[in-house]
Amino acid sequence: MPRKAPELSALQVRRLISPGRHAVGGVDGLFLRVTDNGGRSWILRFPTGERRVSAAGNSFAVYRDVGLGSFPSTTLAAAREKARSIRDKLAEGIDPITERKAAKQARQAEERRRLTFARAAKAVIQIKQAEASNIKHARQWESSLESYVIPSLGTMSVADIELAHVVQCLEPIWQAKPTTAARVRQRIESVLSWATAHGHRTGPNPAAWKGNLDAVLPAPAKIKKVEHLPALPIDTAPVFWQSLTQREDVTAKALTLLILTGSRSGDVLGARWEEIDLAEALWVIPAGRMKRRREHRIPLSPAAVGVFKTLSPAQEGLVFIRGNGKALAARSMGDLIKRMHETSLKEGGQGFVDPTDGRVVVPHGFRSTLRDWMSERTATAHDVAESVLAHAIGNQTEAAYRRGDLLTKRAGVMKQWADFLVRK
């Protein structure tokens, strides 16, 4: 029978300073371990019941060590109490190391479940900002959540968010701001999906629409009020064009290209010289910059080519830049239209407003004017007109079989549109 270690006193334990493992007695297998640099800590050594054979052919018992804390932070009395507790568990067949690991994993799982919605949203926003081709859209993600969701759900654990919480968050804006509310719902759903994928919550997503919120809230399409962006009547477009082309500033030239090509503001402001082929009269916008994530080829009319040539074509870099070398601001073209409107009024003109509601026209409104012109003043086929504006094909079957982009036909339309604008 192995000899029991003598039971040392607290004073005797304090005097143990030589490196090694020192039995302190009181509980079988309790040691004070002293490191070479003087550090001291408690361990409990116990047999696992397993035996192995050494290289020399000798059988030996396998032991395991359990740490009980450092000395003197953990006193001799406390170390013996911890050791006795572990010995009692061993007697019951409970492995203390396995138990500790299970407890640690449980704590980690609980910490993951306690992740707040605000922290989860921050992680998802960073992902969306990295994916976004339009900085404005990326910022909208953050601002919409900050305005409509974080105040009510921000401090809640993602694991605790249920249908009632999502409904309470969305109801105040669901009918008043249906478009915004629909986007906010999708963003809540994305954040909670991310939380589920990362182990922070389980179960169905309470922000999902189908089979969930659709049974509680009215469909956005049923309550959405269609608000058209202010646009010029067809016959006012040449009047505006004449006023615009009298200006030589870079913002005016950007707006000129927007009108001539029927492009979106972001596409024009982000245009790069490496996308432009003046010899082929072609502007190719890469998929990463397009709303539909598909490359869009724009045939350039002679008038559009002429505008590009006035900008000192370069090999690369942004086409439209200010004198300081920085890109034009997102609102620059809209601000220019407002100034032109005010000038027109001062000179006794009618200004540049949408006659249906009296609002000053916005850059995107020229796409509506172009679409109206194609429908009412030309024989442009529907699919060609939609392709001019880089719209998706509504019929999925037709879209599946469509291979070309109707470039030649669109080139004819762009030439007609330019001729209409510059008419005297």
Whether the Cβ atoms of residue 64 and residue 49 lie closer than 8 Å to each other: no
Scanning the structure block, which residue is given the tokens 């997102």?
330
pTM above 0.85, yes or no: no
pLDDT at 33 > cutoff 90: yes
Question: What pLDDT is attached to residue 400?
Answer: 40
Q: Is 52 helix (H, G, I), strand (E, B) or coil?
A: strand
Q: What is the band of 212 on the pLDDT scale with cuts at 50, 70, 90? A: very high
Q: Of 220 and 382, which is predicted with more confidence?
A: 382
Task: Give 64-81 pLDDT, tens digit per residue.
Answer: 888 888 999 999 999 999
Q: Is the pLDDT of residue 401 over 50?
A: no
If you average pLDDT over residues 48-55, what whole number do you get?
Answer: 76
| pLDDT interval class at 396 (50, 70, 90) | very low
Q: How many CB atoms lie within 10 A of CB 413?
A: 23
pLDDT of res. 133: 62
In this model, does residue 394 exceed pLDDT 80?
A: no
Task: Measure Cα distances from 52 to 28, 45, 56, 299, 423 in Å.
Answer: 22, 17, 11, 80, 99
At the second CATH level, the architecture of 234-421 is Orthogonal Bundle (1.10)
Predicted pLDDT of residue 191 = 95
Q: Which CATH architecture has domain 10-108?
A: 2-Layer Sandwich (3.30)
How confident is the model over 123-129, as a mean pLDDT?
86
Q: Quick one: how far is CA 334 from the chain centroid?
A: 27
* Residue-averaged pLDDT of the chain: 86
Per-residue pLDDT band for 240 (boundaries 50, 70, 90) equals: very high
What is the token pair recorded at 232?
């010029």
Domain with CATH 3.30.160.390 in the chain: 10-108
Q: Residue 253 pLDDT > 90, yes or no?
A: yes
Residue 48: predicted pLDDT: 74
Q: Where in the chain is the domain with CATH 1.10.150.130?
A: 117-223
Q: Is 117-223 in CATH node 1.10.150.130?
A: yes
Average pLDDT over residues 15-19: 91
pLDDT for the residue 317: 87
Q: Quick one: what percent of the chain has pLDDT higher than 70? A: 89
Picking from 69-73, 93-97, 235-239, 347-351, which range would have the lowest pLDDT averaged per residue?
93-97
297 vs 267: CA distance, rounded Å: 12
pLDDT value for 391: 81
3-state DSSP of 58-122: CEEEEEEEEEEEECCCCCHHHHHHHHHHHHHHHHCCCCHHHHHHHHHHHHHHHHHHCCEHHHHHH
Query: What pLDDT sits at residue 374?
Result: 94
Query: Could you tell me the CA-to-CA distances from 54 to 48, 57, 364 in Å, in that order?
Result: 17, 5, 82
Strands 40-53 and 282-285: unpaired
Domain with CATH 1.10.443 in the chain: 234-421
Name the more confident of 289 and 232: 232
